[in-house]
Structure 1
Amino acid sequence: MKTNVKKIKLAFGSEKLELEVPEKNLSSVIMPSEPEKRKEGAFLIKKALENPIKSRRLSEIVNPESKVAVIVSDVTRPTPTAKLLPPLLEELYLGGAKAENITIVFALGLHRRQTEEESRKLVGDEIYGKIRCIQHDTGRCRRVGVTSRRTPVEVFEEVLDSDVVVGTGGIEFHYYAGYSGGAKSVLPGVSSEASVLTNHKLMIEEKAVSGRIDSPVRQDMEEAVKIAGLDFILNVVLDSKKGIVAAVAGDFIEAHRKGVEAVDAMYKVPVEPADAVIVSCGGYPKDINLYQANKSLDNATQAVKDGGSIILVAECSEGIGNQIYECWNRECKTPDEAVERFKRCFEFGGHKSAIVAKAAKQFKLYLVSKLREEDTRDAFFTPMGSVLEALEEILSKNPDAKIHLMPHGGQTLPVRKEE
């Protein structure tokens, strides 16, 4: 009977895979520090609206004549918009704003348009029928300036023509903007294609990584939003069960930073880099395709030594998940080729290939998934039939290898202690 192994379950799609790791090899299990008990989301939202950061209350900003635009996340984001809107509208009504003067704008960025059913579900049946709801249109943007990094500030005219602009969303780690939330509701949320692509080209800079508030992508976003205007934000922080654990409101930079503190306290974990990391995305839908699963890979790179190994556990039931990403994987035969191509030609989707290629140049990448072996190799991973098989491969080369486990790779950000 084995007594010197640590058993742990890793999410894989809708299943759980049980893994046994020899205790002598186990460095740590990297877990978030989520609160065991949390206050009701509605209470947290109401308190945030009543105590805005570096701002007057929203009810003091609007008046009965105000034309108000409320920017909300689209269907690709986990933001619980239907929970945010009722107390937010209540605050607007308290200031005299009229329902007929309020417009809810879905921040699509460069994503597809939503179906009416998706839009209705996001805001809730009662609000969808009472408040005007529209979707962002990149073809209806006006230029109002340019940032110091030469990003054109071109914003949806419905937002620019409003007297008061309110941004809503969630704050979590973002793999090149540092964090989501805050200014992101405007750029990329309701900006032109030129604005979005120019801003996103900054993702190849060194500081454009998860958990850095000084990411050049975010700095550029915030500069653009100072030009375009964003009067107030309401952002929330969610735990791994999608429950609201914090809410912030007020100035789009200062309130955002307070939300960032809550994210860091729960999900930044100091670690000593190990020889290898086994990382699960946390299951469906975070590992629905390789495009999404790569967020966990990005986080895991912070917990492994240069030249070490990463085992990514991601079902990828819907394949690669992006046609341009898939195309780059087929056409770029080596990691160097993908990185050099991205430097010459920015193409959204291709950036994923370049980011994985950069990791593949630094670490040995293994993937446990349902992808075809050919597709896995094209994406710069070594395919493995199981987590155990990948673990045995690593231990066969270094029996004394120290290994971190990351069961919630998409939310947990290791921070190197040496830094």
Structure 2
Amino acid sequence: MTEVPLGEKSITVGLPSCEVTTAVPDGGESVDVESAAERAMRDPLGDPLAPQVDAEDSVAVVVTDVTRATPDDLLLDSLLAELEDGGVAREQVTVVVGLGLHRPLTGEELDEALGEHADLAVNHDPDRTRTVGTVEGCPIDIFEPVADADVICSTGMVEPHQYAGFSGGAKTAVIGAGGESQIRYSHGPEMLARDGVRLGRIDDNPFRGFIDDAGDAVGVDFCLNVTHGPAGITGVAAGDPRRVVESLAETARTALSVELTEEYDAVVAGIGAPKDANLYQASRAATYVVLGANDPLRTGGRVVLPARLPEGAGEGRGERRFHERLSTAESAESLYEELRTGYEPGTQRAFVLARALRDHEVWVTHSECPDLVEDCLMSAEAEVSDAIDPGSDVLVVPDALNTLLV
């Protein structure tokens, strides 16, 4: 019996007729976020924040949205205290929720995520951007309140990312508060096909390099990031975005790697809230398993995703494009070949999922919208046991989005 997350709770996976192996990384040790953030601000990787600001400066702090479990309220406590030490009053700060092409946060969600700082928050609008520079010939468009700020900071979660290797750093601002231009370029088929664009890798990763250079064009001055694992938040770092990502990626890699020596008929990939809110986000677990450093599946093996999906495919612009492409495709192979020629921002998740579906089936269990799952080239069942053949060799990865299979 193995526990895997489902929404805010968990379920027990019982497969008595199968040989079951569980992949649980070491996970590291949790830290107290508040005190760790204060220490990181006192000893940053690079220049401290307070000397970088003047009393009359306007400041934009770009924070993550509900798809990442970042303790933004606590990180804002530390950032705002440091800005105050530099003479910047609270009313001079705008907190921008970095949505990318995801849906806006509701007032209730802003209150829950940002606490007493919710009154400073505005949702990013990808249709209200200004070009601030170019990188690799791509215009870098940024949300106007960020472009207008004298100083730009960001929070972020440094966690395994399909393209960037690890998220965090300048990515929160460049993508979260960006326009379609850089999202189209960085998430397009040409970029995603480049050598080095892969889960868990930041060195010589063209996607990561583009994000960092775009962060310079935007003018991201300072970031305060965390990383996490099964134990909770396991590290906090502040300062230069590149150095912060390098430091926390090393912490995450050590805590989250699991070495495999066998192949399996099925992988049960746990997700849980907030990533199992919709199919766009939940499908990441399948591609992290199949397209990571070590695909653990035998030929014909399948990935099983327990996911509630209360938002269906998702409600943002990118999620709608993802659903439209999958639900109208004849097959994963035909969709993959079609998308190789180009697509709109947001559709990259359909492209990467189609790539995985060419070799392996994906089954979704426990969802509130099984018909939608079936319309999107995947299979739906009520229980995990219904999606796995008796006698299978099964790998259970309880936290698939935060486990590096190597």
TM-score (norm 2): 0.87
Could you tell me which amino acid in structure 2 is paired with residue 39 of structure 1?
Answer: V
Query: What is the CA–CA distance in structure 1 between the aligned matches of 2:182 and 2:283, rounded to whole Å?
Result: 24
Query: What is the CA–CA distance in structure 2 between the aligned matches of 1:383 and 1:308, rounded to whole Å?
Result: 17
C-alpha deviation, 1:264, in angstroms: 0.9
- Stretches of structure 1 lacking an aligned partner (at least 5 in a row): 1-6, 396-400
- Paired residues for 1:82-97 under 5 Å: 82-97=73-88
Q: 1:350 to 1:162 in 2, by over 3 A?
A: closer
Give the number of the structure whose alpha-carbon radius of gyration is greater: 1
C-alpha deviation, 1:277, in angstroms: 3.6
- Paired residues for 1:7-406 under 5 Å: 7-13=1-7, 14-20=9-15, 25-26=19-20, 28-35=21-28, 38-53=30-45, 55-125=46-116, 127-129=117-119, 132-148=120-136, 150-201=137-188, 202-205=191-194, 207-213=196-202, 214-240=204-230, 243-301=232-290, 302-305=294-297, 307-318=299-310, 319-321=312-314, 322-370=319-367, 375-384=372-381, 386-392=383-389, 395=391, 402-406=393-397
Query: What is the CA–CA distance in structure 1 between the aligned matches of 2:124 and 2:313, rounded to whole Å?
Result: 27
Query: What is the CA–CA distance in structure 2 between the aligned matches of 1:66 and 1:375, rounded to whole Å?
Result: 48
Query: What is the CA–CA distance in structure 2 between the aligned matches of 1:272 and 1:378, rounded to whole Å?
Result: 35
Query: What is the CA–CA distance in structure 2 between the aligned matches of 1:10 and 1:246, rounded to whole Å?
Result: 24
C-alpha deviation, 1:269, in angstroms: 1.7
Query: What is the CA–CA distance in structure 2 between the aligned matches of 1:17 and 1:33, rounded to whole Å?
Result: 21
Considering Cα pairs closer than 8 Å and 6+ residues apart, tell me whether 1 or 2 has the greater RCO.
Answer: 2
Q: Indicate conservation of the 8 Å contact 1:328/1:350, yes or no.
A: yes
C-alpha deviation, 1:62, in angstroms: 1.9
Q: Is the partner of 1:287 in helix, strand or coil?
A: helix
C-alpha deviation, 1:346, in angstroms: 0.7
Q: Indicate conservation of the 8 Å contact 1:333/1:378, yes or no.
A: no
Q: 1:286 to 1:216 in 2, by over 3 A?
A: same
C-alpha deviation, 1:259, in angstroms: 1.0
C-alpha root-mean-square deviation of aligned residues, in Å? Answer: 2.6
Query: What is the CA–CA distance in structure 2 between the aligned matches of 1:314 and 1:41, rounded to whole Å?
Result: 30
Could you tell me which amino acid in structure 1 is paired with residue 92 of structure 2?
Answer: N
Q: 1:139 to 1:389 in 2, by over 3 A?
A: closer
Query: What is the CA–CA distance in structure 2 between the aligned matches of 1:109 and 1:384, rounded to whole Å?
Result: 32
Query: What is the CA–CA distance in structure 2 between the aligned matches of 1:8 and 1:389, rounded to whole Å?
Result: 16
C-alpha deviation, 1:116, in angstroms: 3.5
* CA displacement, residues 261-289 of structure 1 (integer Å, 9 cap, x when unaligned): 11111112222251334223243443333
Q: Indicate conservation of the 8 Å contact 2:285/2:305, yes or no.
A: no
Query: What is the CA–CA distance in structure 1 between the aligned matches of 2:51 and 2:271, rounded to whole Å?
Result: 42
Query: What is the CA–CA distance in structure 1 between the aligned matches of 2:275 and 2:107, rounded to whole Å?
Result: 24
Structure 1 range deviating more: 336-345 or 321-330: 321-330
- Stretches of structure 2 lacking an aligned partner (at least 5 in a row): none
Q: Indicate conservation of the 8 Å contact 1:62/1:95, yes or no.
A: yes
Query: What is the CA–CA distance in structure 2 between the aligned matches of 1:284 and 1:157, rounded to whole Å?
Result: 31
C-alpha deviation, 1:385, in angstroms: 5.0
Query: What is the CA–CA distance in structure 2 between the aligned matches of 1:384 and 1:115, rounded to whole Å?
Result: 31
Percent identical pairs in the alignment equals: 28
Query: What is the CA–CA distance in structure 2 between the aligned matches of 1:370 and 1:116, rounded to whole Å?
Result: 26
TM-score (norm 1): 0.85
Structure 1 range deviating more: 80-89 or 94-103: 94-103
C-alpha deviation, 1:260, in angstroms: 0.8
Q: 1:189 to 1:15 in 2, by over 3 A?
A: closer
Q: 1:311 to 1:105 in 2, by over 3 A?
A: closer
Query: What is the CA–CA distance in structure 2 between the aligned matches of 1:267 and 1:290, rounded to whole Å?
Result: 24
Q: Indicate conservation of the 8 Å contact 2:286/2:362, yes or no.
A: no
Query: What is the CA–CA distance in structure 1 between the aligned matches of 2:371 and 2:398, rounded to whole Å?
Result: 26
C-alpha deviation, 1:305, in angstroms: 4.2
